[in-house]
Structure 1
Amino acid sequence: METGEDFGPWLARQLKLAGKNQAELADELKLTRAAVSAWITGRSVPRPTMMTEIARALGTDIGTVHTRTTDTQAGLPVTWYHRPGYQDGGRDGGNAAAFAFDADVQVLARETCQNSLDERLTDNGRPVRVRYTIHEITGETLDAFRQAILWDELQPHYEAVSEAAAHQKVGRVVHAGVRDMFEKGRLVLLRVDDYNASGLVGDDYDNGKFAAVVRRQLESLKSDRGAGGSFGLGKATLWATSALGMVLINSTLSVPHEGRTERRVIGRLELPWRSVGDGTYAGPAWLGRPDPDSPGAQVTRSWWADEDIVERLHLTRDSDEPGTSFLIVGAHDVASLDESNADRVVDDENGRDGQEDDGTRDIRSMHRRLVEALERDFWAAMTAGGSRLPLLETSVRTLRNGQVVVEEQQIDPTEAQPARTRALRAFYEGTTVDRLTEPGQVALRTVPLKLPLAGGRRGTHGTHQAVLLVTDAGDKDGVPKQVHSLRGNRMTIKRSTVAGLPLGVNSFQAVLLTGTAAGEAAPFAEEAEEFLRAAEPPEHDRWGQTEELTLRWSHTAHHRIARLTTEVNAAVKELVARPKRSGDEGGAKLRKALTVSPTKKTTSRRAAGPGLPELDGLDASIGPAGEWRITAEVKLPRVDELPVMTPVVLLDVRSGARPRLDWAELVAEEGCEMEDGVLRFTPGARRAVFGGATDVTSHPVRTALTRLVLELRAGQGE
Structure 2
Amino acid sequence: METGEEFGPWLSRQLKLAGKTQAELAEELGLTRAAVSAWITGRSTPRPTVMTDIAKALGTDIGTVHTRTTDTQAGLPLCWHHRRGYPDGGRDLGNAAAFAFDADVQVLARETCQNSLDERRDNGRPVRVRYTLHELTGAALEDFRKAILWEEELLAHYSAVSETAGGQKVGRVVDAGVRDMYERDRLVLLRVDDYNASGLNGDDYEDGKFAAVVRRQLESLKSGRSAGGSYGLGKATLWATSALGLVLINSTLSEPHEGRKERRLIGRLELPWREVRGQAFAGPAWFGRPDPDSPGAEVARSWWADEEMVARLHLTRENDEPGTSFLIVGAHDVASLDEKASDVDDEPMDAAEEGSEDTRDIRRMHRRLVKALGRDFWAAMTGGGGRPPRLEVYVSAMRNGDEVVVPEVQVDPSVEQPSRTRALRAYYEGATVDRLTEAGQVAAQSVPLKLPLPGGARGTLGTHEAVLLVTDALTDADQKKDGPRNRVHSLRGNRMTVRRAGVPNLPLGTNPFQAVLLVGEAVGESAPFAQDAEEFLRAAEPPEHDRWGQTEELTLRWSPSAYRRINALTFEVNKAVRDLVVRQPKRGGREGGEALRKALTVKKRPKAKVPTGPVVPELTDLQAEIGDDGEWRIDAEVSIPRGGDEIVPMVPVAEVDVRSGGRPRLKWAELVALEGCEVDGEVLRFTPGVRRAKFRGATDVTSHPVRTMFTRLVVELRAGKGE
TM over 0.5: yes
1:503 corresponds in structure 2 to 508
Contact 1:97/1:217 (8 A) holds in 2: yes
Cα 1:590–1:539, aligned 2, differ >3 Å: closer, same or farther? farther
Give the SS at the match of 1:586. coil
Query: Counterpart amino acid of 1:59?
Result: G
- Find the partner of 2:576 among 565, 571, 576: 571
Moved more, 245-254 or 220-229: 220-229
Cα 1:645–1:489, aligned 2, differ >3 Å: closer, same or farther? farther
1:207 corresponds in structure 2 to 207
Query: Counterpart amino acid of 1:635?
Result: A
2:622 corresponds in structure 1 to 616
Contact 1:246/1:329 (8 A) holds in 2: yes
Cα 1:8–1:500, aligned 2, differ >3 Å: closer, same or farther? same
How far apart, CA to CA, are the structure 1 residues paired with 2:596 and 2:355? 53
2:442 corresponds in structure 1 to 442
How far apart, CA to CA, are the structure 1 residues paired with 2:542 and 2:358? 35
How far apart, CA to CA, are the structure 1 residues paired with 2:668 and 2:318? 44
1:544 Cα deviation from its structure 2 partner: 0.5
How far apart, CA to CA, are the structure 2 residues paired with 1:127 and 1:311? 27
Contact 2:510/2:582 (8 A) holds in 1: yes
Query: Counterpart amino acid of 2:398?
Result: L
2:29 corresponds in structure 1 to 29
Query: Counterpart amino acid of 1:119?
Result: E
Contact 1:337/1:362 (8 A) holds in 2: no
2:613 corresponds in structure 1 to none
TM-score, normalised with respect to structure 1: 0.83
How far apart, CA to CA, are the structure 2 residues paired with 1:219 and 1:594? 64
Contact 1:340/1:358 (8 A) holds in 2: no
How far apart, CA to CA, are the structure 1 residues paired with 2:83 and 2:36? 36
1:357 Cα deviation from its structure 2 partner: 9.4
How far apart, CA to CA, are the structure 2 residues paired with 1:401 and 1:176? 22
1:188 Cα deviation from its structure 2 partner: 0.2
- Is 1:481 the equivalent of 2:486? yes
2:429 corresponds in structure 1 to 429
1:532 corresponds in structure 2 to 537
Contact 2:337/2:359 (8 A) holds in 1: no
Query: Counterpart amino acid of 1:643?
Result: E
1:38 Cα deviation from its structure 2 partner: 1.7
Moved more, 193-202 or 384-393: 384-393
1:129 Cα deviation from its structure 2 partner: 0.3
How far apart, CA to CA, are the structure 2 residues paired with 1:81 and 1:584? 80
- Is 1:687 the equivalent of 2:686? no
2:158 corresponds in structure 1 to 158
Cα 1:293–1:579, aligned 2, differ >3 Å: closer, same or farther? same
Cα deviation per residue 1:55-82 (whole Å; 9 max; x = unaligned)? 1101112222122111111111110000
Moved more, 47-56 or 564-573: 47-56
2:406 corresponds in structure 1 to 406
Larger radius of gyration: 2
Structure 2 segments unaligned to the other structure (5+ residues)? 343-349, 601-615, 627-631, 639-649, 659-666, 672-680, 685-694, 700-709, 716-723
How far apart, CA to CA, are the structure 1 residues paired with 2:81 and 2:618? 61
How far apart, CA to CA, are the structure 1 residues paired with 2:393 and 2:668? 31
Contact 2:255/2:261 (8 A) holds in 1: yes
Cα 1:636–1:240, aligned 2, differ >3 Å: closer, same or farther? farther
1:664 corresponds in structure 2 to none
1:643 corresponds in structure 2 to 655
TM-score, normalised with respect to structure 2: 0.83
1:665 corresponds in structure 2 to none
Cα 1:139–1:427, aligned 2, differ >3 Å: closer, same or farther? same
Cα deviation per residue 1:282-307 (whole Å; 9 max; x = unaligned)? 10000010001111111010000100
1:491 corresponds in structure 2 to 496
Give the SS at the match of 2:211. helix
Give the SS at the match of 1:461. strand
Give the SS at the match of 2:407. strand
2:376 corresponds in structure 1 to 377
2:141 corresponds in structure 1 to 142
2:131 corresponds in structure 1 to 132
Give the SS at the match of 1:500. coil
How far apart, CA to CA, are the structure 1 residues paired with 2:598 and 2:73? 78
Give the SS at the match of 1:643. strand
- Find the partner of 1:552 among 525, 543, 557: 557
1:580 Cα deviation from its structure 2 partner: 2.1
2:707 corresponds in structure 1 to none
1:712 Cα deviation from its structure 2 partner: 4.4
How far apart, CA to CA, are the structure 2 residues paired with 1:299 and 1:481? 55
1:223 Cα deviation from its structure 2 partner: 2.9
Contact 1:562/1:669 (8 A) holds in 2: no
How far apart, CA to CA, are the structure 1 residues paired with 2:317 and 2:23? 40
How far apart, CA to CA, are the structure 2 residues paired with 1:592 and 1:214? 70
Structure 1 segments unaligned to the other structure (5+ residues)? 343-349, 596-609, 621-630, 647-667, 673-681, 691-709
Cα 1:592–1:318, aligned 2, differ >3 Å: closer, same or farther? farther
- Is 1:368 the equivalent of 2:380? no
How far apart, CA to CA, are the structure 1 residues paired with 2:326 and 2:418? 31
* Pairwise CA RMSD: 3.1
1:3 corresponds in structure 2 to 3
1:263 Cα deviation from its structure 2 partner: 0.4
Contact 2:332/2:359 (8 A) holds in 1: no
How far apart, CA to CA, are the structure 2 residues paired with 1:245 and 1:189? 12
1:44 corresponds in structure 2 to 44
Q: Give percent identity, aligned residues only.
A: 70
How far apart, CA to CA, are the structure 2 residues paired with 1:612 and 1:118? 53
1:563 Cα deviation from its structure 2 partner: 0.2
1:47 Cα deviation from its structure 2 partner: 2.0
